[in-house]
Amino acid sequence: MTDAGVLVVGASGILAPAAAQLAAADDGAPVTGVGRVRPMPSGVEAIAVDARDAAALRRALGARRWACAVVYAPAVTDASLPVLRAAVDGPVVLVRTSAEAAPSPEEPDAPAPEPGPWTLQLGWAPGVGAARWHTPEEISDAALAVLHDGAGRTLGELRPWADRP
């Protein structure tokens, strides 16, 4: 069974603005959100499951299929991400936190790695006097841009690491 829609993991949290924008789009594609507890944005079908539990996720998704997905990396594990990928016929945008680009203690000044295709690497927003983390709206807009064009990108800055909020 193909929904031809979009699956959003993190739709009740950090990616709620993305799920809401997709649900309000004129193309009419259904949007399904995976989350543990909180309600989904209007127009988003909810699948209540902890996406870090591969077996529970497999049961919750069943035989359903999606055209594409946007996934907040901390909401999944190395075991559950393949379960999601197997349910998606097209691209899976992975939204990674800044911690995944942390420099090694051996090379603290090494440049941050470039994100690959279909990847949004989160950094922080530089500020006058202090940096800040990005808002859910900023993260969602950037994730949808990756979904649109497939080009991996970094949102904000990752170096110098000592400047992170």
Q: How far is CA 66 from CA 43, 83, 136, in A?
A: 16, 12, 23
Q: Is residue 21 part of a domain?
A: yes
C-alpha 76/C-alpha 53 separation (Å) is 8
CB 56, CB 45: distance < 8 Å: no
Q: Is residue 1 part of a domain?
A: no
Domain that holds residue 27: 6-163
Q: Is residue 31 part of a domain?
A: yes
What CATH number does residue 74 fall under? 3.40.50.720
149: its two tokens: 């064009």
Q: Is residue 102 part of a domain?
A: yes
Q: Is residue 101 part of a domain?
A: yes
Q: Is residue 147 part of a domain?
A: yes
Q: Is residue 97 part of a domain?
A: yes
Instruction: Summarize pLDDT for 66-96 with one digit per residue, the tens.
Output: 999 999 999 999 999 999 999 999 999 999 9
Q: How far is CA 59 from CA 45, 54, 68, 79, in A?
A: 17, 9, 19, 14
Kindly tell me the sign of the dihedral angle through the C-alpha atoms of 68, 37, 119, 76.
negative
Domain total of the chain: 1
pTM passes above 0.75: yes
Instruction: Summarize pLDDT for 37-53 with one digit per residue, the tens.
Output: 778 999 999 999 999 99
Q: Is residue 10 part of a domain?
A: yes
